[in-house]
Amino acid sequence: HIYTNRQLLSILFLYWEVAQKTLNGSQFYSYSVCNVGEREQDNWLRTTFIQRRPSASRVMVELQFVVRDCNSFDGASLTCKETFNMYTSEADADVGTTFRKGQFKKVTTIAPDEITRKNLQPVNTETRVVDGLSLKGFYLAFQDIGACVAILSVRVYYKTCPATVKSLASFPETVAGSQALSKVDGVCMENAVSEKVPRIYCTMDGEWVVPVSQCQCKPGYEEIKEVCQECQPGYFKAAVPSEKCELCPANTQGTGYGDAACPCTPGFYRAEDDPPTGPCSGLPGAPQDLQATTQLSSGRVLLTWSPPGDTGGRADLTYSVECRRCDGAACQACGEKVRYEPASTGLTETRVSVSQLDAHLNYTFTVNAHNGVSAAASKASPRAHGPPSTAALTTSLQYTDPPTVTSMRLDERKPTSLSLSWVVTPRHRAPPRSFRYELTYRKKDDNLNMTTYTVLVLDRTSVRVSDLAPATTYLFRVQPITEGGAGGASIEDEFKTLADGNTNFPALVLCSLFSRRNSHSRQGPEDAYFSTSEQLKPLKTYVDPHTYEDPNTAVLKFASEIHPNHITKQKVIGAGEFGEVFRGILRAPGRTEGPVAIKTLKPGYSEKQRQDFLSEASIMGQFSHQNIIRLEGVVTKFKHAMIVTEYMENGALDKYLRDHDGEIPSIQLVGMLRGISGGMKYLSDMSYVHRDLAARNILVNTNLECKVSDFGLSRVLEDDPEGTYTTSGGKIPIRWTAPEAIAYRKFTSASDVWSFGIVMWEVMAFGERPYWDMSNHEVMKAINEAFRLPAPMDCPSAVYQLMLQCWLQERAKRPRFPDIVSLLDKLLRSPDSLKTIADFDPRVSIRLPSTSGSDGSPFRSVSEWLESIKMSQYSENFACAGMVTMEQVLHMRNEDIKNIGVRLPGHLKRIAYSILGLKDQTSTLSVFAM
């Protein structure tokens, strides 16, 4: 805003003159005065009346002028000035030419920055502020007091902050005030809102600063280029603070331009607490695979199902169960008598147990799936499209009483056996095919703390219980059990065996072979067995290195010293308890050069550790047998003690078998077992009890010869990772150890035989872990309850029978190693004897890995089951073969599993075992039945 023109100043001047000047090449009108030689100059030049905009109380005055140097006037320097003054006078109206000096107030003295020297006439520009104006207008006046000055221009202006739009608010043009910041209120633009009045500040310099309280587009509008524009169709903006319109969420649709929300598409709903901006969801589909399992004893039905394939896109799935009972054609709701565990509605798990059902009725159970929008959907108008509010599957169930065992009868009595039978009611109804009886018995007068229960699972109502003690009273209990769960009422009775007269041996497959031994009293130390044929031979006996006062003497007695220079270590092949195990070469004078294994003692050992380390050599050095690892010698006279043994190329047996799962024919496996049994017979002959016989402690060479290794005094205690501390403080590899050795540390060759049975199982199962993932505690409990490992797949029946013999509770009845050697020899001589394969007999089963989901619930799908046994890669094979429910899977035979393309023996085995386990799931464990 400039008030300026060349005439502006022409109205009133005293001694000032108007002239056209040429300055620095340009033409200017100027008002000038130059009375430098005269005293007391007071020459005024006044502007016309300058109308003031009411709000412009502060104006700027910009002057362009030229001042001459007083020194350029000879003799005038006394009176000559180089400054002039600026005055102002306010008025409400133009006073014309009336001029009264006294009405003017001095604003400032103006001095040039540069003055004119010689011919140079620099133009000065100075700006001064005139503030605090309040009347309608004002005059400016310039007072010359004796300078030589020419004013070229006067610009009078004020500053404004221009009209603007900031943050969707518009602010008017505002004159910059005399305060640093003046507050300016604005208004939100169209379709924008703000909580408080939008505000901004205008500075003295006409700049907008510090906007506060912004405007935002209202719902349905978004800001595009500082304007609130409607959301496009299919987009919405629900809240003021959101910036942009968003795409309508899943299962919703827009209504047109400017949507603040997107309503659900028909058939989809929002639950009450769903955000109105979120997606809508549908109703769940029907629950799948609804199955009812009866638990006969308790009037209980277990309903299980799988979640619906379509959850409506929600996670808040619940289920409710309806029960209807039908007596003939008349059906009605089950009513309140029936109990549901955990509840009949609001179920989050896919199972419910229904109890207090009556017998002989047809029950129909309906399971409905609900989700968060079920309520909203049923509120919606009946004309609303969409699926029904519930989906259901129905299963019917004929619920019957479990048969009850009513009486037990003694059919035959002998010194070591009793034949029993029992009567079942109701008789008229044939018990289901899957019906079995659990017969539990124990000696009547056993000390209760020490009672041994024997449990047999039978599919007949009679049994001959053998292996009993003569003239002893036994307590028997029979309980019916079904596939669906535990059984009905049990009955208990006691019967006594006859006094010993003529001993009857149990009619076991291997009995004829071993019974001979039973009647002989054994000779020699308790801890080892002697075969009758060898009894007369004087036997070399193993000497415990501990019997030597100085264990170093023992080492030297049984092992030859090797100079370390004769040993070359080549490669680490394993880690022993005391240090690394190397493969190397032994080049000692007088010996054939050859590969050896070198066990080292790691530095920092104590004397005790050194002795323990070398004790293995003291023991090994006493043995010389094809199937015992051979000691080559020891290094004891040098700092780094070493034990040098023959080198076994194929390493530990368990790993070797796992690496060759299914590749080795049975006869060869039996051959390996024969070797091990030979080594064990040798050890037992020497009265050496190994205590840690396990496939991991058998080494295999290139000829697949198996040799027993891992001797040494501390090994069971320290070395074996399988070792578990027992209550008595010792460390015992539970799953390989006989019960009496676990219970009261009775380690004998008979307990080694038990371990050999486990090794047999490991070998026939290609290195499978005995008892799979059962805990040590579960293993001990199971063994104590007469449960035994089932036959490995494709295991010759005779071999499995031998295992079972090795695992007889009573250690005296177990075969001895010489018996085992001769039986295995016999089997190897007539390979046909290996052709009969032991059954996967469900009566001889054991709880298997992953018989149910991790929470104990049944598997909901075949793929879930396969995943749990890490066999997911076969999901497609099962699906393609139409095996889509667990029910179907349970009926698969080994042949079927092979046929759908599971070829690898290990996998086949894993799957078959798991199915076996699933079948027997309800009885959890079962029994080695005689």
Tell me which residues are annotated as active site: 692
Tell me the window of 7-15, 49-57, 537-545, 573-581 that interacts with ligand AMP (CB under 6 A). 573-581
Q: How far, in Å, CA of 23 to CA of 120, rounded?
A: 9
Q: How far, in Å, CA of 360 to CA of 877, rounded?
A: 41
From the CB of 575, what's the least distance to ligand AMP, in Å? 6
Q: How far, in Å, CA of 630 to CA of 240, rounded?
A: 87
226 marked as part of a ligand binding site? no
Nearer to ligand AMP, 700 or 846 (CB): 700
Nearer to ligand AMP, 66 or 628 (CB): 628
Tell me the window of 162-170, 219-227, 568-576, 804-812 that interacts with ligand AMP (CB under 6 A). 568-576
Of all residues in the shown chain, the one whose CB is closest to ligand AMP is 574
631 sits near ligand AMP (criterion: CB under 6 A): no
Nearer to ligand AMP, 263 or 651 (CB): 651
Contact 77, 164 (CB under 8 A): no
Phi, psi for residue 863 in degrees, rounded to 5: -70, -35
Contact 629, 709 (CB under 8 A): yes
Letter string b/e over residues 633-667, b meaning 16 or more CB atoms within 10 A of that residue's CB: bbbbeeeebbbbbbbbebbbbbebbbeebbebebe
From the CB of 645, what's the least distance to ligand AMP, in Å? 4
Q: Which two tokens stand for residue 647?
A: 């080198």
The alpha carbon torsion through 341, 343, 348, 353 (nearest 10 deg) reads 30
DSSP codes of every residue in 612-626:
HHHHHHHHHTT---T
- Rg over CA atoms, the chain: 54
Nearer to ligand AMP, 31 or 623 (CB): 623
Q: Which amino acid is at 562?
A: I
Q: Which two tokens stand for residue 636?
A: 């004891």
Nearer to ligand AMP, 446 or 580 (CB): 580
Nearer to ligand AMP, 317 or 643 (CB): 643
**Closest to 638 in 3D by CA, of 555, 557, 564:** 564
599 marked as part of a ligand binding site? yes
581 sits near ligand AMP (criterion: CB under 6 A): yes
By rule CB under 6 A, what count of residues binds ligand AMP? 16
From the CB of 699, what's the least distance to ligand AMP, in Å? 5
What x/- string results for residues 65 through 104 when contact with ligand AMP is judged by CB under 6 A? ----------------------------------------
Nearer to ligand AMP, 599 or 788 (CB): 599
285 marked as part of a ligand binding site? no
Residues 6 or more apart in contact with residue 511 via CB below 8 angstroms: 505
491: left (phi over 0), alpha (psi -120 to 50) or beta: beta
Coil vs helix vs strand at 553:
helix
From the CB of 569, what's the least distance to ligand AMP, in Å? 13
Q: How far, in Å, CA of 347 to CA of 364, rounded?
A: 18
Q: Where does residue 394 rank: exposed (0-12), middle (13-18), buried (19+ CB within 10 A)?
A: exposed
Q: Which two tokens stand for residue 793?
A: 């797949």
Residue from 60, 331, 361, 573 in contact with ligand AMP (CB under 6 A): 573
236 marked as part of a ligand binding site? no
Q: Which amino acid is at 876?
A: E
From the CB of 631, what's the least distance to ligand AMP, in Å? 10
Q: How far, in Å, CA of 757 to CA of 320, rounded?
A: 51
State the residue for tokens 């199915």: 915
SS3 content of the chain, % helix, strand, coil (to 5): 20, 30, 50
Adjacent-strand bridge partners of 405: 424
765 marked as part of a ligand binding site? no
Nearer to ligand AMP, 213 or 701 (CB): 701
Q: How far, in Å, CA of 690 to CA of 712, rounded?
A: 9
What x/- string results for residues 518 through 557 when contact with ligand AMP is judged by CB under 6 A? ----------------------------------------
Enumerate residues 632-691 that contact ligand AMP by CB under 6 A.
645-648, 651-652
Nearer to ligand AMP, 211 or 633 (CB): 633
Coil vs helix vs strand at 213:
coil
Contact 905, 766 (CB under 8 A): yes
From the CB of 897, what's the least distance to ligand AMP, in Å? 33
Q: Which two tokens stand for residue 720?
A: 């074996």
Angle between helix 666-685 and 797-806 (nearest 10): 30
What x/- string results for residues 688 through 727 when contact with ligand AMP is judged by CB under 6 A? -----------x---------xx-----------------
Nearer to ligand AMP, 12 or 573 (CB): 573
Neighbours of 523 (CB within 10 A): 10
798 marked as part of a ligand binding site? no
From the CB of 727, what's the least distance to ligand AMP, in Å? 27
Nearer to ligand AMP, 144 or 710 (CB): 710
577 marked as part of a ligand binding site? yes
Q: Which two tokens stand for residue 542?
A: 């193993």
Tell me the window of 173-181, 569-577, 742-750, 765-773 that interacts with ligand AMP (CB under 6 A). 569-577
132 marked as part of a ligand binding site? no
From the CB of 592, what's the least distance to ligand AMP, in Å? 17
State the residue for tokens 């008017």: 172
40 marked as part of a ligand binding site? no
Report cis status (omega within 30 of 0) of the bond before 54.
Answer: no
Instruction: Identify the sign of the CA torsion 66, 70, 76, 77.
Output: positive
Phi, psi for residue 919 in degrees, rounded to 5: -60, -35
From the CB of 905, what's the least distance to ligand AMP, in Å? 24
600 sits near ligand AMP (criterion: CB under 6 A): no
Q: How far, in Å, CA of 774 to CA of 779, rounded?
A: 6
Enumerate residues 314-343 that contact ligand AMP by CB under 6 A.
none
DSSP codes of every residue in 203-260:
ETTS-EEEEES--EEPTTEEEETTEEEEPPTTEE--STT--S-EE--TTB---STTBS
576 sits near ligand AMP (criterion: CB under 6 A): yes
From the CB of 710, what's the least distance to ligand AMP, in Å? 5
Residues recorded for the chain: 930
From the CB of 563, what's the least distance to ligand AMP, in Å? 20
From the CB of 640, what's the least distance to ligand AMP, in Å? 16
Nearer to ligand AMP, 340 or 766 (CB): 766
Residues 6 or more apart in contact with residue 550 via CB below 8 angstroms: none
Tell me the window of 201-209, 255-263, 571-579, 778-786 that interacts with ligand AMP (CB under 6 A). 571-579
Q: How far, in Å, CA of 6 to CA of 154, rounded?
A: 8
526 marked as part of a ligand binding site? no
Residue from 192, 352, 629, 820 in contact with ligand AMP (CB under 6 A): 629
Q: Which two tokens stand for residue 673?
A: 């077992």
Residue from 290, 321, 597, 916 in contact with ligand AMP (CB under 6 A): 597
* Interface with ligand AMP (CB under 6 A): 573-574, 576-577, 581, 597, 629, 645-648, 651-652, 699, 709-710
Q: Which residues are annotated as a binding site for ATP?
A: 573-581, 599
Q: Which residues are annotated as a binding site?
A: 573-581, 599
